[in-house]
């Protein structure tokens, strides 16, 4: 999972706005950050390992000149942990970044090698760039015609998810999204005197809301070209059925963002209401209905907070913060390995003893993935005197790997795969676990089930994982 940003204006320097937008997308990737810009004379790029505020400073932002540019924050799902985006192909003058994951990345790289085209990183954004540039240099016609033609050929080769922002030097910006629209992608416009002054593209609305007047969502399979005069050309290049990733609403996106027209905060509130429905229909409700004064509802910060507040209201119990997380450590789930995740839980997640002692704690979290975080937090609550800890997950059991940008690479890493509920409860130490159902998850999001990617829950993948090999 990553966060991308693209901005093009008529004459305004964009590096500072790119920087501020990347700060708003920091939750989507904490390993690397990068910005690529161009003006009439040169291309400029700066990228490195670290948080956005660590990578960029006044001096390097000042050097990133030009009125159009792209940026990216990376949470790696491939082995190239330090490969920062964007990437640049000088023979075609194209800079590119993307959010997503290519399932057939190694196969494409083998075909590129046959043509003596090499990738020097382990990042699949470079693969997309090399394929796109390969076709771009073969095409004839105008730059706009070349972009759409080579994007169609590129998309026929790629298998996976990709929301792509690219800069075509001296010409403009070109955007395209995978045919199923798996990863989120929005566009905003800024007007002055009824004329567009700026186009901005991003993974989430939160990153561009302060610089635009209106939003819309880029369609699955759509390509958009914005020239340097801000004239826009857009076409559906190739399209399949919509398959938007449900985990964007459950976990990844900021609560203040809007994804595919659905408020993330509102969806998470709906998830809390659905959890309340499950609880009221459960044997747990019958057993604990006489212990009303002992029960408190608490979120695992921060993603689960909207759901836990609504859940507490619907079951008529007090809502309390019982966990304090060091806000400077970032998101535990997207730490690059298990050792780091366990260390962050043990040293940077604290339980508030005076609130939980002798209480029955209803602990609400967005999901249970590997179980490491859940187990560590349950242990902390019980060590501080919680009488019982009952775990409520706004996401159904995750039982399949994700091949589209979420770091769920193998089934054996998923605590719910192949286990009975009692086994999971014993592993994390909870007195009970209540999982969201798929049906109620879909109802909470508010989109038709056919428009959602639920592969990690039901194994129905948006793309053919055993597709026929397509040659470059």
pLDDT level of residue 122 (50, 70, 90 thresholds): very high
pLDDT in tens, 24-79: 999 999 999 999 999 988 999 999 999 999 999 999 999 999 999 999 999 876 55
Q: Residue 243 in contact with residue 167, Cβ under 8 Å? A: no
Task: For the chain, list the domains and their CATH numbers.
Answer: 2-240 (3.60.20.10), 263-458 (3.40.50.2020)
Q: Residue 306 in contact with residue 327, Cβ under 8 Å? A: no
Active-site amino acid positions: 2
CA distance 202 to 196: 17
pLDDT level of residue 83 (50, 70, 90 thresholds): confident
Buried b (16+ CB within 10 A) or exposed e, 390-401: bbbbbbbbbbbb
DSSP assignment string, 326-360: -TTS--STTSSSHHHHHHHHHHHEEE-HHHHTTPE
CA distance 408 to 86: 24
pLDDT of residue 343: 52
pLDDT of residue 328: 63
CA distance 208 to 377: 35
pLDDT in tens, 185-232: 999 999 999 999 999 999 999 999 999 999 999 999 999 999 999 999
pLDDT in tens, 240-295: 999 999 999 999 999 999 999 999 999 999 999 999 999 999 999 999 988 777 99
pLDDT of residue 293: 77
pLDDT in tens, 424-439: 999 999 999 999 999 9
């Amino acid at each position: 999972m990553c966060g991308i940003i693209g901005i093009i204006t008529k004459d305004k320097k964009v590096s500072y706005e790119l920087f501020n937008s990347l700060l708003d997308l920091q939750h989507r990737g904490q390993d690397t950050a990068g910005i690529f810009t161009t003006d009439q004379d040169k291309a400029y790029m700066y990228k490195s390992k670290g948080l956005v505020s660590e990578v960029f400073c006044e001096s390097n932002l000042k050097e990133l000149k030009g009125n159009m540019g792209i940026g990216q924050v990376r949470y790696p799902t491939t082995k190239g942990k330090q490969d920062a985006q964007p990437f640049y192909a000088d023979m075609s003058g194209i800079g590119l970044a993307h959010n997503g994951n290519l399932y057939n990345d190694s196969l494409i790289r083998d075909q590129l090698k046959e043509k003596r085209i090499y990738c020097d990183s382990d990042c699949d954004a470079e693969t997309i760039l090399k394929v796109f540039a390969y076709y771009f240099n073969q095409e004839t016609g105008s730059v706009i015609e070349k972009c759409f033609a080579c994007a169609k050929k590129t998309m026929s080769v790629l298998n996976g998810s990709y929301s792509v922002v690219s800069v075509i030097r001296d010409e403009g910006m070109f955007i395209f999204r995978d045919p199923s629209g798996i990863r989120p992608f929005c566009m905003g416009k800024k007007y002055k005197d009824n004329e567009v002054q700026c186009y901005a593209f991003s993974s989430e609305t939160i990153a561009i809301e302060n610089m635009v007047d209106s939003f819309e969502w880029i369609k699955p399979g759509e390509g958009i070209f914005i020239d340097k005069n801000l004239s826009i050309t857009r076409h559906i290049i190739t399209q399949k059925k919509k398959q938007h990733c449900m985990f964007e609403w459950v976990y990844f996106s900021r609560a203040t963002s809007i994804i595919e027209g659905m408020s993330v905060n509102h969806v998470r509130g709906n998830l809390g209401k659905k959890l309340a429905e499950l609880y009221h229909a459960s044997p747990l409700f019958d057993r604990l209905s006489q212990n009303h004064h002992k029960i408190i509802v608490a979120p695992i910060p921060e993603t689960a907070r909207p759901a836990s507040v609504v859940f507490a209201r619907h079951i008529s119990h007090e809502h309390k913060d019982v966990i304090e997380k060091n806000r400077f450590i970032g998101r535990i789930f997207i730490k690059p390995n298990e050792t780091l995740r366990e260390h962050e839980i043990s040293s940077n997640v604290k339980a508030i003893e005076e609130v939980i002692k002798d209480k029955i704690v209803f602990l609400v979290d967005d999901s249970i993935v590997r179980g490491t975080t859940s187990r560590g937090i349950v242990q902390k609550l019980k060590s501080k005197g919680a009488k019982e800890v009952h775990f409520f997950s706004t996401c159904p059991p995750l039982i399949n790997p994700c091949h589209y940008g979420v770091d769920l690479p193998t089934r054996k890493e998923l605590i719910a795969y192949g286990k009975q509920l009692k086994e999971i409860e014993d592993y994390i130490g909870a007195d009970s676990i209540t999982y969201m159902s798929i049906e109620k998850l879909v109802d909470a999001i508010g989109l038709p089930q056919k428009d959602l990617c639920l592969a990690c829950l039901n194994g129905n993948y948006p793309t053919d994982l055993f597709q026929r090999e397509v040659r470059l």
